[in-house]
Amino acid sequence: MTEEEFKVKIANREYESCVKKWSTVYQLSQKFPAFSENSIRALIYASKPRLRAKSKNGDEFVPGNGLAHAIRKVGRRVLIDEHAFSEWINDKKND
């Protein structure tokens, strides 16, 4: 293998690690068996800040769980980036 071929191979490997891999809720629950479909849907619901139901002035918010950056909605389909999801799980070990 020449030096140029080696550089191309390394560049392709770095590119593949940067490419996002999108999965549906069902597919993600199959790849991460610790999370059921319903638990993933609950994480999606709690991903963004939302208004608190019982607030005195209506300005109180419940903070999100930080997963919103990994979620995309395309029509009715919800897609989650697998790499960002696993990073989010790893970041949660400190909480």
**Is the pLDDT assigned to residue 22 strictly greater than 80?**
yes
Instruction: Give the pTM.
Output: 0.72
Q: What is the DSSP string of 4-65?
A: HHHHHHHHHHHHHHHS--EE-HHHHHHHSTTS-HHHHHHHHHTTS-EE-SS-SSS--EEPP-
Query: Higher-confidence residue: 43 or 17?
Result: 43
Calpha distance 39→28 (Å, rounded): 11
Confidence bin at 12 (pLDDT 50/70/90) = low
> What is the pLDDT at residue 57?
73
Confidence bin at 79 (pLDDT 50/70/90) = very high
Mean pLDDT of 2-29: 72
Q: Which residues, including other chains, have CB under 8 Å from residue 48's CB and lie 6 or more apart?
A: 64, 68
